[in-house]
Amino acid sequence: MAWYPGAVKMELQPESDSQPAIRPTQFIVHSIIAPWTAKRTYEYWRDSTNLESHFGLGYEGDLGQFIGTETRADANYQANRRPDGTGAVSIETASNTKGTDPWTPAQIEQLIRLGVWLHETHDIPLRICRTWDDPGFGYHRLHDEWAKDGTNCPGDARVRQFRELVFPGIVARASGQTPAPAPSEEDDPMPKVITESSDTDSGLKAKTWTTVAMATDTALLQGPVAYSVAAYLRIGGTPGTQVKGRFYDQYPDGHGSQDLAIDLGTVGPDGVLDAQIARPGQLADRVQLKLEVWADKPATITYRVLRSLRWTA
């Protein structure tokens, strides 16, 4: 069995020794619908039920592991252990009693770190599970086979965070593109969560790169900083309009360094395209991160959202 060195070991018995082995191929994230610490979650599994997860995570980032990741845990219905011996690793995360609150920055950081370890230790692929038995990462309500009689776990706020912050953060960290900052006594190692949005229309001229402003200006972030950022755009235009995007670094002397263009999609029959573009990285002192969008026909950005994790570089 495998034990994550970043968690406090709180081994459940007899489950840890008596339940069958699995080959971990998935990581499934839950909310426990209680504002509990990792220790209180352990006590609940120990004293009240045998439907445990491998890990428990409190609001402050306290992380406990209850069963080794190569042993079956029972909170994932059909994904606990499949006939071929594969199974899911699971985590319960503290929440309010309605399961409607977002994860805290400390919880997000711990989920990213644990996800990277699971990828590196068990070779869980860096993708969101496409089907209930597809290897990868997911959240409890993603597939019906993961939850008996269905579930809303986790709530909408956490599903958005998973797709916009947690999973992109795992991919970025595991790929070595967003290194974790070295904690010190003076510095807070937890990332800051940034969300900006604007519903002010922004026109796109045909076949012209346009710098996109968010809530305040065109500078999405400014260094020194390490980050993982995702931008979400709603674009209106003629059906069939092709749209591309790219991030670039703006240096203090005025010159920029652009990424390769990414195809963001095509405006649909309803005249709308919902697109997203993400990028992890680091910015040196006074270097700004900006975003450009291009369309082959005139179009309009009607809404945009920026979400990011930010670490002090």
**What pLDDT sits at residue 5?**
93
For residues 215-231, b (16+ Cβ closer than 10 Å) or e, as one string? eeeeebbebebbbbbbb
For residue 69, the model assigns a pLDDT of 96
Where does residue 280 rank: exposed (0-12), middle (13-18), buried (19+ CB within 10 A)?
buried
Contact 280, 177 (CB under 8 A): yes
Cα 287–Cα 289–Cα 294 angle in degrees, nearest 5: 140
Q: In Å, what is the CA distance from 7 to each residue of 4, 56, 109, 117, 123?
A: 6, 9, 13, 11, 19
The residue with tokens 């001229």 is 205
pLDDT recorded at residue 73: 93
pLDDT (0 to 100) of residue 188:
43
DSSP run (H or E) holding 111: helix 105-122
Q: Identify the CA nearest to 7 among candidates 53, 51, 50.
A: 53
Residue 183's pLDDT is what?
36
- Residue-level pLDDT at 30: 94
Structure tokens at 154: 């986790």
Nearest to 192 by CA among 62, 69, 298, 311: 311
Asked if the bond preceding 14 is cis, omega within 30° of 0, the reply is yes
Distance of CA 196 to the CA centre of its chain: 17
The backbone torsions φ and ψ at residue 280, rounded to the nearest 5 degrees and listed phi first, read -95, 160
Which pTM value belongs to this model? 0.60
Q: What is the pLDDT of residue 307?
A: 79
Reading the chain (313 residues) residue by residue, the pLDDT tens digits are: 699 999 999 999 988 889 999 999 999 999 999 999 999 999 998 888 778 999 999 998 899 999 999 999 998 999 999 999 999 999 999 999 888 888 988 899 999 999 999 999 999 998 899 899 999 999 999 998 998 877 888 988 899 889 888 998 898 888 765 444 433 333 444 567 777 888 889 999 999 999 998 876 788 888 888 887 888 899 999 999 999 999 999 998 888 888 888 899 999 999 999 888 888 778 888 999 999 999 999 999 998 888 787 765 4
pLDDT of residue 87: 95
Separation CA 288–CA 292 (nearest Å): 13
Report the pLDDT value the prediction gives residue 190, as an integer from 0 to 100. 54
